[in-house]
Amino acid sequence: MPEVTWIDDIHAPAEWRLRIAGKRPYQIAEMLPDILRRVLKVQTKDIFEHDVRYDVSVDPRTFYGFWEGRRQEDKWTRTSIRVTIQGEQSAAEGTGFLDIRLRGVLVTTYPYSNFIQRTFWWFYNRFYYYKQRRQYLFRDKDEIFQIKEMIQRTFAVSPEEIGG
């Protein structure tokens, strides 16, 4: 069945980026699934660990990770918040740096079977559902900000010290 889809970036036009240097930067990789679960208020099954890599063959050890938290808002709309980390950590001292990217998407999909339904969905979204989607968007933007604050508290970094 064909679908009409609206996609909004939560933090348009670009993603939030953080660069943090300090002790044990890899610890955020261990904490991210729980942070996403708590902030999005979803179950563990809605947190996806797409890719985690840790190279122990070199010093400093490099790492990369990509997580996604999804939440179904209602019958038509879902939120997806993605966190990507990349950095390195010294094996001897435990210090290093970490680049974090936070990005979110709000996706609304309406199934239709004929052009009349498609036109109805367009008007419905434009004149009625638009306000509801904006409320989801603003709440999701606050949740991304909460994730950013939790990461800052973990590393005891003030917002002024972060380049992002």
In a domain, 110, yes or no: yes
Residue 138 domain-assigned? yes
Residue 162 lies in a domain: no
CA distance 41 to 38: 5
- Quote the pLDDT of residue 156: 77
Query: Residue 154: what pLDDT?
Result: 82
**What's the domain count of the chain?**
1
- Residue 161: per-residue pLDDT: 53
Where in the sequence is the domain holding 106, given as residue range(s)?
3-157
Smallest Cα–Cα separation from 20: which of 128, 123, 162?
A: 162
Q: Which residues of the chain have pLDDT under 50?
A: none
Output the CA angle 146-142-105, nearest 5 degrees.
105
Is 163 a domain residue?
A: no
Residue 117, classed as helix, strand or coil, is: helix
pTM: 0.86
Which pairing describes strands 77-89 and 61-72: parallel, antiparallel, or unpaired?
antiparallel
Query: Quick check: is 164 in a domain?
Result: no
Domain membership of residue 23 (yes or no) is: yes
Q: How far apart are CA 149 and CA 147, in angstroms?
A: 5
pLDDT of residue 162: 53
Among 104, 103, 98, which residue's Cα sits nearest to residue 162?
A: 98
